[in-house]
Amino acid sequence: MSELSRASGVSVATIKFYRREGLLPPGVAVSATRARYDESHVRRLRMVRALVEVARLPLSVVRDVVTAIEDHSGMHEVLGTAHTALSRPGPSRPGETPTTRALKQVDGLVRRQRWRVHAGSPSRAALGRALDAYDSLGRSMPVDRLDVYAEAAHAVAAADVAGVPEDSREEAVEYAVVGTVLSEPILLALRRLAHEDVSARRFRTTRRPRD
């Protein structure tokens, strides 16, 4: 187990905890006090740690992902479980039901963009809630702007998914979840930086030499 700790970078105490919680399968016992672990344990540990420490998911939700993997679900189903876990409403994301109006906006968008998404997808509800919050200030996002957003988001998603490793579902989940969470601040910072460029081009008066 100490070798497993070294190989995965996860402490022995944490490994024991994950074992007790059923998030890591047992090793093959080679004596009363020793067990053999392999690469699959290292990958599982890295994935569990990423879900717990980077995505800050509760253990019950991490267990759903582990269960999906152990049920031999296909890659799309396993990634779907991981994404569902990420979009699950939590203390910081209230889980109110979106209004019918917002869900109609979402469904219209999905139809226009011909996206293949499940009717029960939590991202669909999350988008509905985000549209409701936007509308709550008395403004509504114009349909054509929402389509620009959707096409930009799809270009980003296509680049993301192109990088998902296919060899192991654990690695794919770790990559997808960590990649999604850690790249959100990158995307938002890029948008604000781009605002500066667009604003400079539209509004800056020529008080200084051209640059």
Q: Which residues, 123 to 152, sit near its own copies by CB under 8 A?
A: 123-124, 126-127, 129-131, 133-134, 137, 139, 141-142, 144-146, 148-152
Task: Please tell me the distance from the alpha carbon of residue 126 to that of residue 188, in angstroms, as a whole number.
Answer: 17
Applying CB under 8 A, does 161 fall inside the site for its own copies?
A: yes
Nearer CB in complex with its own copies: 95/115:
115
Q: Furthest-apart CA pair in the chain: how many Å?
A: 80
Residue-by-residue DSSP string for 139-154: ----HHHHHHHHHHHH
Find tokens 């209230």 and name the residue.
94
CB contact set of 185 (below 8 Å; sequence gap of 6+): none
Applying CB under 8 A, does 168 fall inside the site for its own copies?
A: no
Question: Residues 22, 25, 58, 74: which binds its own copies (CB under 8 A)?
Answer: 74
- Smallest gap, in angstroms, from Cβ of residue 106 to its own copies? 8
Applying CB under 8 A, does 120 fall inside the site for its own copies?
A: no
Binding mask 83-112 for its own copies (x = CB under 8 A): x--xx----------------------x--
Handedness of CA 186, 130, 90, 122 (dihedral sign): negative
Question: Residues 22, 112, 115, 143: which binds its own copies (CB under 8 A)?
Answer: 115
Show contacts with its own copies in window 21-50 (CB under 8 A). 50
Per-residue CA distances from 172 to 153, 159, 163 (Å): 20, 14, 9
Nearer CB in complex with its own copies: 19/87:
87
Show the tokens assigned to 112: 């226009």
Task: Please tell me the distance from the alpha carbon of residue 111 to that of residue 40, in angstroms, as a whole number.
Answer: 40
Of the listed pieces 20-28, 29-37, 57-65, 113-121, which binds its own copies according to CB under 8 A? 113-121
Show the tokens assigned to 179: 């990649």
Burial of 72 (0-12, 13-18, 19+ CB in 10 A): exposed
- Smallest gap, in angstroms, from Cβ of residue 71 to its own copies? 14
Nearer CB in complex with its own copies: 12/190:
190
Applying CB under 8 A, does 12 fall inside the site for its own copies?
A: no
